[in-house]
Amino acid sequence: MEVIIKANAEEASREATAFLVRQCRNKPDSVLGLATGSTPVGLYCQLVALVQNGQLDLSQVTTFNLDEYCGLAADHPQSYAAFMRRHLFDHIRVRAWHIPDGLACDIPLHCAQYEADIAKAGGIDLQLLGLGGNGHIGFNEPGSSLQSRTRLKMLNAHTVAANARFFDLPDEVPRRVLTMGVGTILEARHCLVLATGLQKADAVAGMVEGPLCADLPASALQWHPHCTLIVDEEAASRLKRQEEYRWAYNNKPAWQHPG
C-alpha cells in the first residue's frame, strides 16, 4: 500500500483529485467507484471546476457509488443519490452513474443486479473510498465479512452518531443501508482512500499497520495489490512508520506522480 502524507486536508484532496484526473485522461471510458460523506466534497468540487474549464472530459466515464440509505427515496435531500447530484452530477455530464436504490423492493435481487452491472461495465478501474472513524469502508461496519458482496447492512451506533450531523434529528438517520461489500471493493483495480482529520487517526493506523481483520474492515486493503492512501498530517499522526512513507513518496520517480 502506498501511503501519501500531505500537509492538510486541502492538499490531500488535491492529490486525490490528481489520481482521478490521471485515470480518466489515460482511459476516458473509465469506470469509477465513488463515495459520499464529507471527505470527497472538495475533490468533487475540483473535478467540477476542471470539467467546466474544459481541462477534463468525463463524458465517457461510468460511475458506481458505494452505498445508499435504505428507506430514502433518491430525491430525499439526505439520500446519497441527492448528495451525488448536488456535488457532481448536476454540474457535469458522465456516460452513466449508478447508485443502489434505497427503495428497492427485492433487496437481494437489486444487490445482485448492482454487482452484475459493475461486471457488465468491465469492473471498477478506480474506487474512491472514505474511511469511517471505526474503520469501515463503504458501510461495511466492523465485523463485516471480508468477502462480502453488495447487500443490506445495519449501521452501528458509532456510524449513526457520526452521520447525525447531516440530519435534523439523530433519530432520522436510517439504520439500514445497501452497500458494496468488502469483496466487491477489493475487486476494483485500484483503490484510492482519502482520510483527513484527527478523528480518523486510529482507523488509519489500524488500516495500514494493524492486523488484517474483520474488526477493522479497511485493513482488508492490505490485501489489495494496488491501494493508495492519501492522508493529512492529523490523520497520519498515529502511524508508526510515517518517516518511511514520506521517504518513499519523496523518492518516487516523477513519472509515477499523477500530477
Closer residue to ligand F6R (CB): 66 or 231: 66
H-type alpha helices, the chain: 9-26, 41-52, 80-84, 107-120, 157-163, 182-186, 201-209, 233-236, 242-250
* Residue placing its CB nearer to ligand F6R in the complex, 48 or 217: 217
Closest Cα partner for 224 from 118, 132, 146, 123? 146
Distance between CA atoms of residues 160 and 141, nearest Å:
11
- The secondary structure of residue 54, as a DSSP letter, is T
Listed residue (28, 229, 237) closest to 128, CA to CA = 229
Considering only 33, 132, 206, 217, the residue that binds ligand F6R (CB under 6 A) is 132
CB of 86 vs ligand F6R, minimal distance in Å: 14
Task: Work out whether 130 is an interface residue with ligand F6R (CB under 6 A).
Answer: yes
Query: Which residue, 90 or 244, has its beta carbon nearer to ligand F6R?
Result: 90
Q: Is 206 in the site for ligand F6R (CB under 6 A)?
A: no
Q: Which of 6, 87, 136, 153 binds ligand F6R (CB under 6 A)?
A: 136
Stretch that binds ligand F6R, among 102-110, 137-145, 150-158, 222-230 (CB under 6 A): 137-145
Nearer to ligand F6R, 10 or 244 (CB): 10
Stretch that binds ligand F6R, among 13-21, 55-63, 136-144, 181-189 (CB under 6 A): 136-144
Tell me which of 38, 113, 222, 242 binds ligand F6R, using CB under 6 A.
Answer: 38
Q: Count CA atoms within 13 Å of residue 23 on its CB side.
A: 25
DSSP letter assigned to residue 18: H
Q: Using alpha carbons, list the distances in angstroms from residue 216 to 95, 137, 192.
A: 34, 9, 17
Q: Which residues are catalytic?
A: 67, 134, 136, 141
Using CB under 6 A as the binding rule, whether residue 33 contacts ligand F6R is answered as no
Q: Which of 9, 21, 23, 37 binds ligand F6R (CB under 6 A)?
A: 37
Strands 126-129 and 227-232: unpaired
Sites of contact with ligand F6R (CB under 6 A)? 35-39, 66-67, 130-132, 136-139
